[in-house]
């Protein structure tokens, strides 16, 4: 059986605080997790690295196959590329998963949200292939390959089946981008035929956005190419209270990274007031992954314990200020640990 080693990238800004809170909660489950520290973002530069994504960090993820990542800052206007983009490209993290659900104690206009965005992470317009044709004229190339379309469709339906989900909705704009989005739908249809127990539908992205905000309960797993998935992930987060209450994961063949997708909030760094919930929820996803892929049933069971504990905290109003509570970052971690049972 593989080890329980996990690369821990604290990040910067509020990253070290929310990462420490998450690590404390997971350690309280007494699972024997082995944390392997690594750096990225401004924290890497401050430590003397020449890159916001050191090769040593990439090597650690390749070696251990799993990482928990706090928010990382990419310096603006200084020639550095995004840490997140760098991780996805370097490790071919092609499948992004963003669960979105209504949280107890978090009041929004919706109370019935429970869906998952599955996003292709490596191509589309985010391939970043741009060209200046002439002065004032720029083109951007949207890339779609059959292999990438196939593997993200495979990923989405496999995820739906394993998680007991009943429907996959492919969001697209194939009525306009007939070749690129058309290829995406071709592969999704083929995979759908292999999963007859899962309902499949195709939804034009603009109509899908309207349907989503009218009644998100009609969706289950939403399958998107890169740009659409990025937009839908944040749109859906807004339905349940924002990025502070939504976890994230990026999966590839050589490893998986679980992360909070909110920013590093340097304005409140070091004040013990940041909400660690999003990273803690990502930590729950990490525990389930250890159970699913490495056979650690204790981790899968602990995932339920942690989720039940932070749900109970939210219901009791034991939360940080951004959610209407009065707890500090440390205090919230303590409250969750106290409810682990």
Give tens-digit pLDDT for 88-147. Answer: 999 999 999 999 999 999 999 998 899 999 999 999 998 889 999 999 999 999 999 999
276/174 Cα distance (integer angstroms): 39
Q: Which of 12, 69, 94, 126 is catalytic?
A: 126
Q: Are residues 184 and 140 in the same domain?
A: yes
Q: Number of folded domains in the chain?
A: 2
34/157 Cα distance (integer angstroms): 32
Q: Are residues 187 and 296 in the same domain?
A: no
Question: Is 215 among the residues known to form the active site?
Answer: no
pTM of the predicted model as reported, rounded to 2 decimal places: 0.95
> Structure tokens of 312?
């109970």
Give tens-digit pLDDT for 316-340. Answer: 999 999 999 999 999 999 999 999 9
273/270 Cα distance (integer angstroms): 8
Question: Is 173 among the residues known to form the active site?
Answer: yes
Q: Which of 12, 94, 159, 173 is catalytic?
A: 173
Question: Is 214 among the residues known to form the active site?
Answer: no
Radius of gyration of the chain from its Cα atoms, rounded to whole angstroms: 20
- 42 inside domain: yes
332/243 Cα distance (integer angstroms): 17
Q: Which of 59, 111, 206, 215 is catalytic?
A: 206
Give the pLDDT score at 75. Answer: 79
Q: Are residues 197 and 281 in the same domain?
A: no
Return all residues near 180 (Cβ < 8 A) that are at least 6 apart.
Answer: 124, 142, 143, 144, 225
> Structure tokens of 321?
């200020």
Give tens-digit pLDDT for 185-217. Answer: 999 999 999 999 999 999 999 999 999 999 999
Question: Is 272 among the residues known to form the active site?
Answer: no
- 102 inside domain: no
Residue whose token pair is 């502070």: 244
Question: Is 126 among the residues known to form the active site?
Answer: yes
Return all residues near 94 (Cβ < 8 A) that are at least 6 apart.
Answer: 88, 120, 121, 122, 148, 151, 152, 155, 251, 252
Q: Are residues 122 and 87 in the same domain?
A: no
Q: Where among 240, 259, 292 does a domain terminate?
A: 240
Q: Are residues 230 and 334 in the same domain?
A: no
Which of 232, 262, 235 is CA-nearest to residue 247? 262
């Amino acid at each position: 059986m593989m080890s329980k080693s996990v690369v821990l990238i604290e990040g910067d800004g509020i990253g070290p605080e929310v990462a420490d809170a998450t690590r404390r909660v997971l350690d309280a489950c007494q699972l024997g997790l082995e944390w392997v520290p690594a750096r990225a973002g401004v924290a890497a530069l401050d430590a003397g690295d020449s890159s916001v994504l050191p090769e040593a960090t990439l090597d650690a993820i390749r070696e251990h196959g799993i990482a928990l990542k706090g928010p990382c800052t990419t310096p603006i206007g200084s020639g550095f590329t995004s840490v997140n983009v760098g991780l996805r490209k370097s490790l071919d993290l092609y499948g992004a998963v963003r669960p979105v659900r209504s949280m107890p104690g978090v009041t929004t206009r919706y109370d019935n949200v429970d869906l998952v965005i599955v996003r292709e992470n490596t191509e589309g317009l985010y391939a970043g292939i741009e060209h200046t044709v002439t002065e004032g004229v720029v083109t951007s190339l949207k890339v779609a390959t059959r292999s990438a379309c196939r593997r993200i469709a495979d990923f989405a339906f496999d995820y739906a089946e394993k998680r007991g989900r009943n429907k996959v909705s492919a969001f697209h704009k194939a009525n306009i981008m007939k070749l690129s989005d058309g290829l995406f739908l071709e592969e999704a249809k083929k995979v759908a035929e292999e999963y007859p127990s899962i309902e499949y539908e195709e939804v034009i992205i603009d109509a899908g956005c309207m349907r989503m905000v009218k009644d998100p309960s009609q969706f289950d797993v939403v399958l998107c190419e890169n740009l659409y998935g990025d937009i839908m992930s944040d749109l859906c987060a807004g339905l349940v209270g924002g990025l502070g209450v939504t976890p994230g994961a990026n999966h590839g063949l050589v490893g998986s990274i679980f992360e909070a997708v909110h920013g590093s909030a340097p304005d409140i760094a070091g004040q013990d007031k940041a909400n660690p919930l999003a990273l803690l929820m990502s930590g729950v996803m990490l525990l389930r992954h250890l159970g699913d892929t490495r056979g650690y049933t204790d981790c899968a069971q602990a995932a339920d314990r942690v989720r039940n504990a932070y749900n109970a905290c939210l219901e009791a109003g034991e939360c940080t200020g951004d959610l209407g509570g009065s707890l500090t970052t440390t205090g919230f971690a303590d409250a969750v640990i106290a409810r682990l049972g």
